[in-house]
């Protein structure tokens, strides 16, 4: 009988040369995947790739262009009907992770994204941001979602390219919300699949020195790029209130408000406000685009 062609998955990874042990393990578990054909591209974000397996293709970016733009470069270089964005410190605990995510996307022509459940390999609790649900108990409920965790997920290439990929100028923070909203506005569906598990160390996003600045700036940019005009002040007002309640460090708050002002003053990129029909879809799904 003729052999059946395996689904081709382009794997997009970023690395800065600072996690040699972690990326070696990430690639080892990636190479063990069954039921898919892989084309793996590692982008050296301000690092010249060395010491990687010969089945990995590399791209050297002399300067660190940030996470979303680095991922855009990797996505353009890797080949496949599907793109798997994969952090360099993640692990695939079983050999069927990618094949199962492919099956989810192929099950419905409307599905653009399949996000697995994230789990810390040492048993630490998973951060809330990993679960695209308000109720994160037991890893969250499977099914359609309105956002996704950017570190480890699979996307249909046609959907990714249709909406223009990642917002490259964001550098770090909220690029996933921007991409998710554009996908939903284009009619695509995001699917959360907690039955498929990926390992990743549980870390706090605020550990990055630029976190409070880009968190605030990009929050403004997300609103300016994607929301109908009447919802922009509602969205930004609600997140300002949340920040004031959550952040007690006065120095961090000063940085946050400077980032917010930067988001107001500077170019947010192309504005493509979502339709009110999309607002209704997001609201019906439990996540109105004002919170």
Q: Are residues 140 and 39 in the same domain?
A: yes
Report residue 61 CA to chain centroid gap. Answer: 20
Q: Residue 148 is part of a domain; what is its CATH number? A: 3.90.550.10
Question: What's the domain count of the chain?
Answer: 2
Question: What's the pTM?
Answer: 0.95
Indicate the angle between helix axes 232-246 and 211-226, nearest 10 degrees. Answer: 160
Q: Which domain holds residue 134?
A: 8-203
Helices (H) and strands (E) in the chain, counts: 9, 8
Q: Are 83 and 98 in contact (CB under 8 A)?
A: no
List of E strands, the chain: 8-15, 37-45, 56-61, 82-86, 111-119, 143-145, 152-156, 189-199
Pairing outcome for strands 189-199 and 143-145? antiparallel
Q: What is the mean pLDDT of each run of 10 residues along the chain (291 residues)?
A: 83 96 98 98 97 97 97 98 98 98 98 98 93 92 96 98 98 96 98 98 77 96 98 97 93 95 97 98 92 79
Among residues 128, 84, 132, which one has the least CA distance to residue 104? 84
* pLDDT score at 3: 64
Q: Are residues 16 and 91 in the same domain?
A: yes
Q: Are 243 and 257 in contact (CB under 8 A)?
A: no
Q: Are residues 239 and 165 in the same domain?
A: no
Final residue belonging to a domain, choices 203, 237, 254: 203
């Amino acid at each position: 009988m003729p052999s059946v062609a395996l689904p081709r998955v382009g794997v997009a990874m970023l690395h800065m040369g600072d996690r040699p042990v972690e990326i070696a393990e990430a690639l080892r578990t990636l190479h063990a995947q069954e039921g898919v054909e892989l084309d793996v591209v590692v982008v050296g974000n301000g690092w010249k790739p060395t010491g990687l397996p010969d089945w990995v293709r590399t791209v050297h970016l002399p300067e660190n262009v940030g996470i979303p733009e680095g991922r855009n470069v990797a996505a353009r270089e890797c080949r496949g009907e599907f793109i798997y964005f994969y952090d360099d410190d993640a692990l695939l605990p079983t050999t069927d992770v990618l094949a199962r995510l492919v099956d989810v996307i192929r099950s419905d022509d409307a599905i653009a994204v399949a996000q697995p459940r994230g789990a810390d390999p040492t048993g630490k609790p998973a951060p809330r941001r990993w679960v695209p649900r308000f109720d994160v108990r037991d890893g969250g409920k499977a099914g359609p979602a309105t956002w996704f965790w950017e570190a480890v997920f699979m996307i249909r290439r046609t959907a990714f390219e249709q909406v223009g990929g990642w917002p490259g100028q964001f550098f770090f923070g909220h690029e996933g919300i921007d991409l998710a909203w554009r996908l939903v506005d284009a009619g695509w569906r995001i699917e959360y699949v907690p039955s498929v598990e990926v390992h990743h160390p549980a870390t706090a996003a605020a550990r990055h020195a630029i976190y409070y600045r880009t968190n605030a700036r990009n929050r403004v940019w997300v609103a300016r790029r994607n929301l109908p005009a009447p919802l922009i002040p509602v969205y930004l007002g609600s997140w300002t209130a949340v920040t004031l309640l959550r952040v007690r460090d006065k120095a961090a708050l000063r940085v946050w408000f400077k980032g917010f002002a930067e988001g107001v003053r500077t170019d947010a990129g192309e504005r493509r406000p979502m339709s009110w029909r999309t607002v209704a879809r997001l609201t019906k799904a439990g996540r109105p685009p004002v919170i």
